[in-house]
Structure 1
């Protein structure tokens, strides 16, 4: 739970610094596409405003997609849950990205790959990123579509980090002959200040890349690899819709 609370603190701080507002009209559309060879259960956590996903929209078989219309100024995050098993009442668990039931009651339990958004932030820009600060469970990418003004760059992680995950960070599925299903962040694995950017390491000057965050960054250059990896990881765009792909095959 520590990593979930810490990460959501960073999200709210990030939104405050951007000066987001819900007063600006927005016609943004999110398109979620599952390119994974298995079913995923998309999830979201809202930083402000109403939730975007309802109980009827939580399953994406391979090749299927889902369209969401966020309110103006929406902020929050998306992720994929894998190997879920829910009963008709929505009670159950997922092997990765679990969030308390079919309808999420909180953020995804690490390790989990995240897409984070603030719409209509400072100067009317949308701010977005892909974050591996909470670890990795599936590849994920964000691509501006249908126009847009500004840098409007692709953000994402195409490489399968589960296959290259160091032994000390691996999460294995005991039901699948020890298959690696997720890769922990060093913070989740070791809970030390130098990896979590806490205590004496709580500033950009004192919390620097580690061998583990460098592994994530080398594999996925446009994704956040640790808490203060802002310079190469935050993207901006104005007037665009966004395609969020689980298991993207290319940039």
Structure 2
């Protein structure tokens, strides 16, 4: 098995389907803090205010509605002030802790996902990396 860069293995993402919601679980298995960024696609809510801190070994659980579509990416090497302004070495979103509609700038590994609805129960996801 080839070695995987830690920039490409930023967290585990699990999801559990409930009747009206999908539960997302992010776990930081890196040896340093990460700051996941989140973004809902057009017409979808953005979870966790668009970004947050996740310390080594920590996990966060949140829910999105069935039919939700959006993306999550890991940010590393971040430093933010009390107002949530700062920078990240990877995945930066306009120098903000809470991305508020901004996507992650390269380099970043992004998980894009669309969860099914009662009419179409299939879930889709894609993982891409930009340098």
TM value normalised by structure 2: 0.76
Aligned ranges 1:63-212 → 2 under 5 Å: 63-100=57-94, 101-105=96-100, 106-120=102-116, 123-132=120-129, 135=130, 184=131
Cα distance in 1 between the residues matched to 2:68 and 2:20: 9
CA distance in 2: counterparts of 1:112 and 1:68, whole angstroms: 22
The 2-side partners of 1:27 and 1:46 are apart by 15
Q: Which has the higher strand share?
A: 2
Task: Kindly indicate whether the alpha-carbon contact (under 8 Å) linking 2:77 and 2:90 is maintained by their aligned counterparts in 1.
Answer: yes
Q: CA deviation at 1:35?
A: 0.3
- Helix, strand or coil: the match of 1:97? coil
In the TM superposition, residue 50 of structure 1 has moved relative to its aligned partner by 1.4
Q: Under a length normalisation based on structure 1, what TM-score does the superposition of the two structures give?
A: 0.41
1:123: Cα distance to partner? 2.5
Please provide the CA RMSD for this pair: 1.7
Q: How has the CA–CA distance of structure 1 residues 26 and 125 changed in structure 2, closer, same or farther, with 3 Å as cutoff?
A: farther
Q: Which has the higher helix share?
A: 1
**Which protein shows a greater Rg?**
1
Paired position in structure 2 for 1:40: 34
Q: CA deviation digits over 1:90-120, x for unaligned, max 9?
A: 1111111001201104000012101110011
Structure 1 residue 27: deviation in Å? 2.5
Distance 2:44 2:71 in 1: 13
Count of matched residue pairs = 109
8 Å contact from structure 1 (residues 84, 92) kept in 2? yes
SS in 2 for 1:83: coil
